[in-house]
Structure 1
Protein backbone atom coordinates (compact mmCIF):
# COMPACT_ATOMS: atom_id res chain seq x y z
CA UNK A 1 0.00 0.00 0.00
CA UNK A 2 2.78 2.44 0.91
CA UNK A 3 4.63 1.62 -2.31
CA UNK A 4 1.51 2.45 -4.32
CA UNK A 5 1.27 5.80 -2.56
CA UNK A 6 4.96 6.70 -2.90
CA UNK A 7 5.48 5.63 -6.51
CA UNK A 8 2.03 6.07 -8.05
CA UNK A 9 -0.14 8.56 -6.14
CA UNK A 10 2.52 10.88 -4.72
CA UNK A 11 4.24 11.80 -8.03
CA UNK A 12 0.94 12.65 -9.72
CA UNK A 13 -0.22 14.58 -6.65
CA UNK A 14 2.95 16.69 -6.73
CA UNK A 15 2.56 17.39 -10.46
CA UNK A 16 -1.07 18.47 -10.01
CA UNK A 17 -0.16 20.77 -7.11
CA UNK A 18 2.68 22.23 -9.18
CA UNK A 19 0.37 23.12 -12.07
CA UNK A 20 -2.71 24.22 -10.11
CA UNK A 21 -0.55 26.06 -7.57
CA UNK A 22 1.15 28.14 -10.25
CA UNK A 23 -2.18 29.05 -11.82
CA UNK A 24 -3.60 30.08 -8.44
CA UNK A 25 -0.46 32.02 -7.47
CA UNK A 26 -0.39 33.90 -10.76
CA UNK A 27 -4.07 34.82 -10.61
CA UNK A 28 -4.18 35.92 -6.96
CA UNK A 29 -0.64 36.93 -6.05
CA UNK A 30 1.01 38.54 -9.07
CA UNK A 31 2.63 41.22 -6.91
CA UNK A 32 4.36 38.53 -4.86
CA UNK A 33 5.53 36.60 -7.92
CA UNK A 34 9.06 37.98 -8.00
CA UNK A 35 11.62 37.50 -5.26
CA UNK A 36 12.95 40.16 -2.93
CA UNK A 37 16.55 40.67 -3.98
CA UNK A 38 19.30 40.56 -1.35
CA UNK A 39 21.99 41.53 -3.84
CA UNK A 40 22.45 45.01 -2.39
CA UNK A 41 22.92 43.59 1.12
CA UNK A 42 25.65 41.06 0.30
CA UNK A 43 27.03 40.52 -3.18
CA UNK A 44 30.26 38.51 -3.04
CA UNK A 45 28.92 35.20 -1.72
CA UNK A 46 25.78 35.60 -3.82
CA UNK A 47 27.87 35.99 -6.97
CA UNK A 48 30.15 33.02 -6.22
CA UNK A 49 27.33 30.74 -5.07
CA UNK A 50 25.05 31.63 -7.97
CA UNK A 51 27.86 31.15 -10.49
CA UNK A 52 28.78 27.70 -9.18
CA UNK A 53 25.14 26.64 -8.86
CA UNK A 54 24.17 27.67 -12.39
CA UNK A 55 27.36 26.28 -13.96
CA UNK A 56 26.62 22.94 -12.33
CA UNK A 57 22.84 22.69 -12.52
CA UNK A 58 22.57 22.94 -16.32
CA UNK A 59 24.69 19.81 -17.04
CA UNK A 60 23.03 18.06 -14.08
CA UNK A 61 19.58 18.84 -15.49
CA UNK A 62 20.58 17.61 -18.96
CA UNK A 63 22.02 14.46 -17.38
CA UNK A 64 18.73 13.81 -15.59
CA UNK A 65 16.79 14.30 -18.82
CA UNK A 66 19.10 11.88 -20.62
CA UNK A 67 19.24 9.28 -17.87
CA UNK A 68 15.53 9.25 -17.11
CA UNK A 69 14.10 9.91 -20.54
CA UNK A 70 16.33 8.00 -22.95
CA UNK A 71 16.19 4.17 -22.88
CA UNK A 72 19.56 2.41 -22.83
CA UNK A 73 18.68 0.69 -26.13
CA UNK A 74 18.79 4.12 -27.81
CA UNK A 75 22.24 4.99 -26.46
CA UNK A 76 23.51 1.55 -27.49
CA UNK A 77 22.13 2.15 -30.99
CA UNK A 78 24.30 5.27 -31.40
CA UNK A 79 27.44 3.47 -30.21
CA UNK A 80 27.48 4.37 -26.50
CA UNK A 81 28.08 1.23 -24.46
CA UNK A 82 26.49 0.74 -21.05
CA UNK A 83 29.93 0.91 -19.39
CA UNK A 84 30.84 4.15 -21.16
CA UNK A 85 27.49 5.68 -20.27
CA UNK A 86 27.86 4.60 -16.63
CA UNK A 87 31.32 6.18 -16.36
CA UNK A 88 30.03 9.43 -17.82
CA UNK A 89 26.96 9.49 -15.60
CA UNK A 90 28.93 8.77 -12.42
CA UNK A 91 32.08 10.84 -12.86
CA UNK A 92 31.04 13.68 -15.16
CA UNK A 93 27.62 13.88 -13.52
CA UNK A 94 29.25 13.59 -10.11
CA UNK A 95 31.68 16.42 -10.88
CA UNK A 96 28.96 18.84 -11.94
CA UNK A 97 26.88 17.64 -9.00
CA UNK A 98 29.69 18.66 -6.65
CA UNK A 99 29.91 22.06 -8.35
CA UNK A 100 26.15 22.50 -7.88
CA UNK A 101 26.42 21.34 -4.27
CA UNK A 102 29.21 23.85 -3.55
CA UNK A 103 27.13 26.68 -5.00
CA UNK A 104 24.01 25.64 -3.12
CA UNK A 105 25.98 25.32 0.12
CA UNK A 106 27.36 28.85 -0.22
CA UNK A 107 23.93 30.28 -1.01
CA UNK A 108 22.33 28.44 1.92
CA UNK A 109 25.01 29.40 4.44
CA UNK A 110 24.79 32.99 3.22
CA UNK A 111 21.06 33.05 3.91
CA UNK A 112 21.48 31.58 7.39
CA UNK A 113 24.68 33.26 8.59
CA UNK A 114 24.42 36.79 7.16
CA UNK A 115 22.13 38.58 9.61
CA UNK A 116 20.93 41.20 7.14
CA UNK A 117 20.14 38.57 4.51
CA UNK A 118 18.40 36.37 7.08
CA UNK A 119 16.21 39.26 8.25
CA UNK A 120 15.09 39.77 4.66
CA UNK A 121 14.31 36.05 4.32
CA UNK A 122 10.99 34.45 5.13
CA UNK A 123 10.59 31.05 6.75
CA UNK A 124 9.79 29.53 3.36
CA UNK A 125 13.05 30.96 1.96
CA UNK A 126 15.07 29.20 4.64
CA UNK A 127 13.14 25.96 4.17
CA UNK A 128 13.54 25.99 0.39
CA UNK A 129 17.27 26.65 0.56
CA UNK A 130 17.78 23.85 3.08
CA UNK A 131 15.59 21.50 1.08
CA UNK A 132 17.39 22.22 -2.20
CA UNK A 133 20.72 21.68 -0.47
CA UNK A 134 19.55 18.26 0.75
CA UNK A 135 18.24 17.29 -2.69
CA UNK A 136 21.55 18.16 -4.34
CA UNK A 137 23.53 16.43 -1.58
CA UNK A 138 21.57 13.19 -1.74
CA UNK A 139 21.83 13.23 -5.54
CA UNK A 140 25.63 13.59 -5.38
CA UNK A 141 25.76 10.87 -2.71
CA UNK A 142 23.71 8.52 -4.88
CA UNK A 143 25.92 9.21 -7.90
CA UNK A 144 29.36 9.00 -6.30
CA UNK A 145 28.81 6.70 -3.32
CA UNK A 146 25.81 4.43 -3.96
CA UNK A 147 26.82 3.74 -7.56
CA UNK A 148 30.20 2.52 -6.32
CA UNK A 149 28.97 0.67 -3.22
CA UNK A 150 26.24 -1.09 -5.22
CA UNK A 151 27.90 -1.42 -8.66
CA UNK A 152 25.40 -4.01 -9.86
CA UNK A 153 22.55 -1.47 -9.64
CA UNK A 154 21.66 0.26 -12.90
CA UNK A 155 19.02 2.93 -12.45
CA UNK A 156 18.20 2.81 -16.15
CA UNK A 157 16.76 -0.70 -15.71
CA UNK A 158 14.38 0.27 -12.92
CA UNK A 159 14.11 3.91 -11.84
CA UNK A 160 14.23 5.32 -15.38
CA UNK A 161 11.69 2.80 -16.65
CA UNK A 162 9.38 3.62 -13.72
CA UNK A 163 9.75 7.35 -14.42
CA UNK A 164 8.75 6.92 -18.08
CA UNK A 165 5.72 4.84 -17.09
CA UNK A 166 4.38 7.91 -15.26
CA UNK A 167 4.00 9.64 -18.62
CA UNK A 168 2.26 6.66 -20.20
CA UNK A 169 -0.17 6.66 -17.23
CA UNK A 170 0.84 3.09 -16.41
CA UNK A 171 3.12 3.52 -13.36
CA UNK A 172 4.61 0.31 -12.01
CA UNK A 173 5.57 0.67 -8.33
CA UNK A 174 7.31 -2.73 -8.34
CA UNK A 175 10.08 -1.28 -10.49
CA UNK A 176 11.18 0.81 -7.49
CA UNK A 177 11.35 -2.09 -5.03
CA UNK A 178 15.05 -2.81 -5.56
CA UNK A 179 16.19 0.81 -5.89
CA UNK A 180 18.72 1.89 -3.21
CA UNK A 181 17.49 4.28 -0.52
CA UNK A 182 19.60 7.25 -1.68
CA UNK A 183 18.02 7.17 -5.12
CA UNK A 184 14.54 6.83 -3.61
CA UNK A 185 15.11 9.84 -1.36
CA UNK A 186 16.41 11.87 -4.30
CA UNK A 187 13.32 11.04 -6.35
CA UNK A 188 10.80 11.71 -3.56
CA UNK A 189 12.38 15.01 -2.48
CA UNK A 190 12.63 16.00 -6.13
CA UNK A 191 8.88 15.58 -6.57
CA UNK A 192 8.21 17.27 -3.24
CA UNK A 193 10.11 20.41 -4.26
CA UNK A 194 7.81 20.65 -7.28
CA UNK A 195 4.80 20.48 -4.95
CA UNK A 196 5.99 23.38 -2.78
CA UNK A 197 7.42 25.37 -5.70
CA UNK A 198 4.30 27.51 -6.43
CA UNK A 199 4.07 28.67 -2.81
CA UNK A 200 7.66 29.93 -2.47
CA UNK A 201 9.95 32.45 -4.11
CA UNK A 202 10.98 29.73 -6.59
CA UNK A 203 8.23 31.05 -8.87
CA UNK A 204 10.49 33.97 -9.79
CA UNK A 205 12.50 31.51 -11.92
CA UNK A 206 9.84 31.86 -14.63
CA UNK A 207 9.94 35.65 -14.75
CA UNK A 208 13.37 36.93 -13.76
CA UNK A 209 15.25 35.95 -16.95
CA UNK A 210 12.66 37.60 -19.19
CA UNK A 211 12.50 40.71 -17.04
CA UNK A 212 16.24 41.25 -16.97
CA UNK A 213 16.78 40.60 -20.68
CA UNK A 214 14.74 43.67 -21.52
CA UNK A 215 15.04 45.74 -18.38
CA UNK A 216 18.82 45.75 -18.02
CA UNK A 217 19.24 47.18 -21.51
CA UNK A 218 16.65 49.90 -20.91
CA UNK A 219 18.22 50.95 -17.63
CA UNK A 220 21.65 50.97 -19.20
CA UNK A 221 20.51 53.13 -22.10
CA UNK A 222 18.73 55.54 -19.77
CA UNK A 223 21.85 55.81 -17.65
CA UNK A 224 24.01 56.51 -20.69
CA UNK A 225 21.53 59.07 -22.00
CA UNK A 226 21.52 60.89 -18.65
CA UNK A 227 25.30 61.04 -18.65
CA UNK A 228 25.33 62.51 -22.13
CA UNK A 229 22.80 65.18 -21.14
CA UNK A 230 24.84 66.10 -18.10
CA UNK A 231 27.96 66.27 -20.25
Structure 2
Protein backbone atom coordinates (compact mmCIF):
# COMPACT_ATOMS: atom_id res chain seq x y z
CA UNK A 1 0.00 0.00 0.00
CA UNK A 2 2.86 2.34 0.81
CA UNK A 3 4.37 1.76 -2.63
CA UNK A 4 1.03 2.51 -4.28
CA UNK A 5 0.69 5.79 -2.36
CA UNK A 6 4.24 6.70 -3.30
CA UNK A 7 3.39 6.13 -6.95
CA UNK A 8 0.19 8.20 -6.75
CA UNK A 9 1.58 11.17 -4.85
CA UNK A 10 5.23 11.19 -5.93
CA UNK A 11 6.01 9.24 -9.10
CA UNK A 12 2.85 9.98 -11.07
CA UNK A 13 2.94 13.77 -10.52
CA UNK A 14 6.62 13.91 -11.44
CA UNK A 15 6.00 11.84 -14.58
CA UNK A 16 3.10 14.11 -15.53
CA UNK A 17 5.22 17.24 -15.09
CA UNK A 18 8.03 15.67 -17.13
CA UNK A 19 5.59 14.71 -19.89
CA UNK A 20 4.26 18.26 -19.92
CA UNK A 21 7.66 19.96 -20.14
CA UNK A 22 9.20 17.55 -22.65
CA UNK A 23 5.99 17.39 -24.67
CA UNK A 24 5.68 21.16 -24.93
CA UNK A 25 9.27 21.47 -26.16
CA UNK A 26 8.76 18.66 -28.66
CA UNK A 27 5.47 20.12 -29.90
CA UNK A 28 7.02 23.55 -30.42
CA UNK A 29 10.01 22.18 -32.30
CA UNK A 30 8.08 19.80 -34.54
CA UNK A 31 4.55 21.16 -34.97
CA UNK A 32 4.41 24.95 -34.82
CA UNK A 33 1.83 25.04 -37.62
CA UNK A 34 -0.41 22.83 -35.49
CA UNK A 35 -0.02 25.07 -32.44
CA UNK A 36 -3.53 26.49 -32.79
CA UNK A 37 -7.02 26.15 -31.37
CA UNK A 38 -8.25 24.43 -34.56
CA UNK A 39 -11.21 26.79 -34.46
CA UNK A 40 -14.57 25.56 -35.74
CA UNK A 41 -16.22 28.98 -35.69
CA UNK A 42 -16.77 28.77 -39.43
CA UNK A 43 -19.21 25.89 -38.87
CA UNK A 44 -21.19 27.40 -35.98
CA UNK A 45 -20.81 30.67 -34.10
CA UNK A 46 -23.92 31.31 -31.98
CA UNK A 47 -23.27 28.71 -29.27
CA UNK A 48 -19.54 29.40 -29.48
CA UNK A 49 -20.06 33.09 -28.69
CA UNK A 50 -22.05 32.14 -25.59
CA UNK A 51 -20.06 29.16 -24.29
CA UNK A 52 -16.47 30.13 -25.05
CA UNK A 53 -16.34 33.33 -22.92
CA UNK A 54 -18.06 31.55 -20.02
CA UNK A 55 -15.54 28.73 -20.15
CA UNK A 56 -12.39 30.78 -20.66
CA UNK A 57 -13.13 33.54 -18.15
CA UNK A 58 -14.34 30.97 -15.64
CA UNK A 59 -11.14 28.96 -16.09
CA UNK A 60 -9.04 32.10 -15.71
CA UNK A 61 -10.49 32.80 -12.26
CA UNK A 62 -10.33 29.12 -11.32
CA UNK A 63 -6.61 29.04 -12.13
CA UNK A 64 -6.01 32.26 -10.18
CA UNK A 65 -7.80 30.71 -7.20
CA UNK A 66 -5.72 27.55 -7.45
CA UNK A 67 -2.46 29.51 -7.57
CA UNK A 68 -3.42 31.61 -4.55
CA UNK A 69 -4.62 28.63 -2.53
CA UNK A 70 -1.72 26.33 -3.32
CA UNK A 71 1.19 28.74 -3.47
CA UNK A 72 0.43 31.05 -0.53
CA UNK A 73 1.03 29.38 2.87
CA UNK A 74 -1.49 29.77 5.66
CA UNK A 75 1.12 31.55 7.81
CA UNK A 76 1.34 34.35 5.24
CA UNK A 77 -2.39 35.09 5.23
CA UNK A 78 -2.48 34.99 9.02
CA UNK A 79 0.49 37.33 9.17
CA UNK A 80 -1.41 40.01 7.22
CA UNK A 81 -4.47 39.65 9.46
CA UNK A 82 -6.68 37.36 7.34
CA UNK A 83 -8.35 34.81 9.59
CA UNK A 84 -9.14 31.29 8.45
CA UNK A 85 -12.87 32.05 8.36
CA UNK A 86 -12.42 35.15 6.19
CA UNK A 87 -10.04 33.28 3.89
CA UNK A 88 -12.59 30.51 3.52
CA UNK A 89 -15.27 32.98 2.45
CA UNK A 90 -12.93 34.74 0.03
CA UNK A 91 -11.82 31.47 -1.54
CA UNK A 92 -15.09 29.54 -1.58
CA UNK A 93 -17.81 31.80 -2.95
CA UNK A 94 -15.87 33.37 -5.84
CA UNK A 95 -14.51 29.89 -6.56
CA UNK A 96 -18.01 28.43 -6.76
CA UNK A 97 -19.15 31.22 -9.10
CA UNK A 98 -16.11 30.70 -11.33
CA UNK A 99 -16.72 26.95 -11.25
CA UNK A 100 -20.34 27.35 -12.32
CA UNK A 101 -19.29 29.56 -15.24
CA UNK A 102 -16.62 27.04 -16.27
CA UNK A 103 -18.98 24.06 -16.10
CA UNK A 104 -21.73 25.86 -18.03
CA UNK A 105 -19.23 26.92 -20.67
CA UNK A 106 -17.85 23.39 -20.99
CA UNK A 107 -21.36 21.90 -21.27
CA UNK A 108 -22.19 24.40 -24.00
CA UNK A 109 -19.02 23.59 -25.94
CA UNK A 110 -19.65 19.84 -25.64
CA UNK A 111 -23.29 20.22 -26.67
CA UNK A 112 -22.20 22.24 -29.70
CA UNK A 113 -19.70 19.56 -30.75
CA UNK A 114 -22.16 16.71 -30.33
CA UNK A 115 -25.28 18.28 -31.87
CA UNK A 116 -23.77 20.24 -34.76
CA UNK A 117 -22.77 17.66 -37.36
CA UNK A 118 -20.15 19.85 -39.06
CA UNK A 119 -18.43 20.58 -35.75
CA UNK A 120 -18.66 16.92 -34.73
CA UNK A 121 -16.99 15.79 -37.96
CA UNK A 122 -14.22 18.33 -37.39
CA UNK A 123 -13.53 16.87 -33.91
CA UNK A 124 -10.38 14.76 -33.93
CA UNK A 125 -9.51 11.84 -31.70
CA UNK A 126 -7.14 14.01 -29.67
CA UNK A 127 -9.99 16.49 -29.15
CA UNK A 128 -12.21 13.74 -27.74
CA UNK A 129 -9.45 12.57 -25.39
CA UNK A 130 -8.82 16.16 -24.35
CA UNK A 131 -12.48 16.82 -23.57
CA UNK A 132 -12.67 13.59 -21.56
CA UNK A 133 -9.75 14.43 -19.28
CA UNK A 134 -10.57 18.13 -19.14
CA UNK A 135 -14.15 17.36 -18.13
CA UNK A 136 -12.94 14.96 -15.44
CA UNK A 137 -10.58 17.57 -13.97
CA UNK A 138 -13.19 20.35 -14.00
CA UNK A 139 -16.11 18.30 -12.69
CA UNK A 140 -14.07 16.64 -9.94
CA UNK A 141 -12.83 20.03 -8.78
CA UNK A 142 -16.32 21.51 -8.86
CA UNK A 143 -17.76 18.56 -6.91
CA UNK A 144 -14.99 18.80 -4.32
CA UNK A 145 -15.51 22.54 -3.89
CA UNK A 146 -19.28 22.32 -3.53
CA UNK A 147 -19.41 19.23 -1.30
CA UNK A 148 -16.47 20.00 0.99
CA UNK A 149 -16.01 23.76 0.92
CA UNK A 150 -19.53 25.09 0.39
CA UNK A 151 -21.52 22.46 2.30
CA UNK A 152 -18.73 20.95 4.39
CA UNK A 153 -19.12 23.04 7.51
CA UNK A 154 -18.32 26.63 8.48
CA UNK A 155 -14.66 26.33 7.49
CA UNK A 156 -14.80 23.51 4.97
CA UNK A 157 -11.78 21.28 4.46
CA UNK A 158 -8.47 22.99 5.18
CA UNK A 159 -6.43 21.93 2.14
CA UNK A 160 -3.72 24.41 3.13
CA UNK A 161 -2.63 21.98 5.82
CA UNK A 162 -2.21 19.01 3.47
CA UNK A 163 -2.53 19.50 -0.30
CA UNK A 164 -0.80 22.87 -0.49
CA UNK A 165 2.38 21.90 1.40
CA UNK A 166 2.42 18.52 -0.37
CA UNK A 167 2.48 20.25 -3.75
CA UNK A 168 5.07 22.84 -2.76
CA UNK A 169 7.38 20.15 -1.38
CA UNK A 170 6.80 18.02 -4.46
CA UNK A 171 7.92 20.81 -6.79
CA UNK A 172 11.23 21.22 -4.95
CA UNK A 173 11.88 17.45 -5.02
CA UNK A 174 11.25 16.90 -1.30
CA UNK A 175 8.15 14.74 -1.64
CA UNK A 176 6.02 14.04 1.41
CA UNK A 177 3.30 11.60 0.28
CA UNK A 178 2.12 11.13 3.85
CA UNK A 179 0.46 14.55 3.68
CA UNK A 180 -2.07 13.15 1.19
CA UNK A 181 -3.03 10.16 3.35
CA UNK A 182 -6.07 11.71 5.05
CA UNK A 183 -7.19 14.00 2.21
CA UNK A 184 -10.87 13.47 1.24
CA UNK A 185 -11.35 11.32 -1.83
CA UNK A 186 -12.98 14.20 -3.73
CA UNK A 187 -9.77 16.20 -3.62
CA UNK A 188 -7.65 13.13 -4.34
CA UNK A 189 -9.61 12.46 -7.53
CA UNK A 190 -9.29 16.11 -8.52
CA UNK A 191 -5.53 16.13 -7.96
CA UNK A 192 -5.02 12.97 -10.04
CA UNK A 193 -7.31 14.29 -12.80
CA UNK A 194 -5.40 17.56 -12.80
CA UNK A 195 -2.02 15.89 -13.26
CA UNK A 196 -3.49 13.64 -15.96
CA UNK A 197 -4.69 16.60 -18.03
CA UNK A 198 -1.26 18.16 -17.49
CA UNK A 199 0.40 15.06 -18.96
CA UNK A 200 -1.75 15.02 -22.12
CA UNK A 201 -1.73 18.80 -22.53
CA UNK A 202 1.11 19.05 -25.11
CA UNK A 203 -0.55 16.51 -27.40
CA UNK A 204 -3.89 18.32 -27.70
CA UNK A 205 -5.21 21.70 -28.80
CA UNK A 206 -4.74 22.94 -25.23
CA UNK A 207 -1.28 24.15 -26.24
CA UNK A 208 -2.96 27.30 -27.56
CA UNK A 209 -3.26 28.47 -23.94
CA UNK A 210 0.46 29.33 -24.14
CA UNK A 211 0.13 31.26 -27.40
CA UNK A 212 0.34 34.92 -26.42
CA UNK A 213 0.25 37.53 -29.22
CA UNK A 214 3.59 38.99 -28.10
CA UNK A 215 4.61 40.09 -31.59
CA UNK A 216 1.37 41.88 -32.33
CA UNK A 217 2.54 45.27 -31.10
CA UNK A 218 5.75 45.16 -33.16
CA UNK A 219 4.41 43.67 -36.39
CA UNK A 220 4.57 45.77 -39.59
CA UNK A 221 1.56 47.80 -40.58
CA UNK A 222 -0.83 46.27 -43.10
CA UNK A 223 -1.15 48.67 -46.06
CA UNK A 224 -4.42 48.67 -47.94
CA UNK A 225 -4.90 50.30 -51.35
CA UNK A 226 -7.78 52.69 -51.62
CA UNK A 227 -10.67 51.90 -53.95
CA UNK A 228 -11.92 55.48 -53.97
CA UNK A 229 -12.19 56.59 -57.62
CA UNK A 230 -11.21 60.12 -56.62
CA UNK A 231 -7.66 58.98 -55.84
CA UNK A 232 -6.96 58.13 -59.46
CA UNK A 233 -8.22 56.34 -62.54
CA UNK A 234 -9.73 52.94 -61.95
CA UNK A 235 -8.45 50.26 -64.27
CA UNK A 236 -10.81 47.42 -64.88
CA UNK A 237 -9.34 44.01 -65.29
CA UNK A 238 -10.05 42.54 -68.69
CA UNK A 239 -11.10 39.27 -67.12
CA UNK A 240 -14.13 40.98 -65.63
CA UNK A 241 -15.33 42.75 -68.79
CA UNK A 242 -18.91 41.79 -69.66
CA UNK A 243 -19.43 39.40 -72.56
CA UNK A 244 -21.29 41.17 -75.36
CA UNK A 245 -23.36 39.48 -78.06
CA UNK A 246 -22.46 40.35 -81.68
CA UNK A 247 -25.59 38.83 -83.18
CA UNK A 248 -27.20 42.21 -83.91
CA UNK A 249 -24.07 43.51 -85.62
CA UNK A 250 -23.89 40.43 -87.88
CA UNK A 251 -27.57 40.79 -88.81
CA UNK A 252 -27.00 44.42 -89.83
CA UNK A 253 -24.11 43.42 -92.09
CA UNK A 254 -26.26 40.81 -93.82
CA UNK A 255 -29.03 43.32 -94.46
CA UNK A 256 -26.78 46.10 -95.86
CA UNK A 257 -25.98 44.50 -99.31
CA UNK A 258 -29.64 43.71 -99.94
CA UNK A 259 -30.58 47.35 -99.41
CA UNK A 260 -27.98 48.48 -101.90
CA UNK A 261 -29.30 46.07 -104.52
Q: Any gaps of 5 or more consecutive residues in structure 1?
A: none
Cα distance between partner residues in 2 of 1:213 and 1:39: 22
CA distance in 1, matches of 2:39, 2:57: 21
Please tell me the root mean square deviation across aligned C-alpha atoms, in Å: 2.2
Is the CA contact 2:53–2:105 (under 8 Å) kept in the aligned structure 1? yes
- Could you tell me how far apart the structure 1 residues matched to 2:218 and 2:207 are? 19
Is the 1:111–1:126 contact (alpha carbons within 8 Å) kept by the matching residues of 2? no
Give, in angstroms, the shift of residue 130 of structure 1.
2.8
**What is the alpha-carbon distance in structure 2 between the residues aligned to residue 125 and residue 182 of structure 1?**
26
Native 8 Å contact 2:20 2:199 kept in 1: yes
Secondary structure of 1:229's counterpart equals coil
* Aligned residue number for residue 90 of structure 1: 92
Q: CA deviation at 1:4?
A: 0.1
Give the aligned partner of residue 41 of structure 1: 43
Residue 12 of structure 1 corresponds to which residue in structure 2?
14
Q: Distance in 1 between matches of 2:217 and 2:119?
A: 27
Q: Are the equivalent residues in 2 in contact too, given 1:33–1:201 (CA < 8 A)?
A: yes
TM-score (norm 2): 0.79
Does residue 175 in structure 1 map to residue 175 in structure 2?
A: no
The structure with the largest alpha-carbon Rg is 2
1:204 aligns with 2:208: yes
Change (3 A) 1:145 1:213: farther
3-state DSSP of counterpart to 2:17: helix
Contact 1:45 / 1:106 at 8 angstroms: preserved in 2? yes
1:132/1:69 Cα in 2 relative to 1: closer, same or farther (>3 Å)?
Answer: same
2:159 is equivalent to residue 155 of structure 1: yes
Aligned residue number for residue 229 of structure 1: 227
**Is 1:109 aligned to residue 107 of structure 2?**
no
CA contact (8 A) 1:105 1:133 kept: no
Once residues 27 and 156 of structure 2 are traced to their aligned partners in structure 1, the CA distance between those partners, rounded to angstroms, is 44
Q: Which moved more, 1:177-186 or 1:124-133?
A: 124-133
Q: 1:192 aligns with which of 190, 196, 202?
A: 196
SS in 2 for 1:27: helix
Normalised TM-score (structure 1)? 0.89
Query: Contact 1:33–1:203 at 8 Å: present in 2 too?
Result: yes
CA offsets 1:103-152 (integer angstroms, 9 cap, x no match): 11111221222110010110110221232122111111111112223656
Secondary structure of the structure 2 residue equivalent to 1:149? coil
Aligned-pair distance for 1:61?
0.9
**Once the 2 structures are TM-superposed, how far is the Cα of residue 212 of structure 1 from its aligned partner?**
9.2
What does residue 238 of structure 2 align with? none
Identify unmatched segments of 5+ residues in structure 2.
Answer: 230-261
SS of residue matched to 2:48? helix
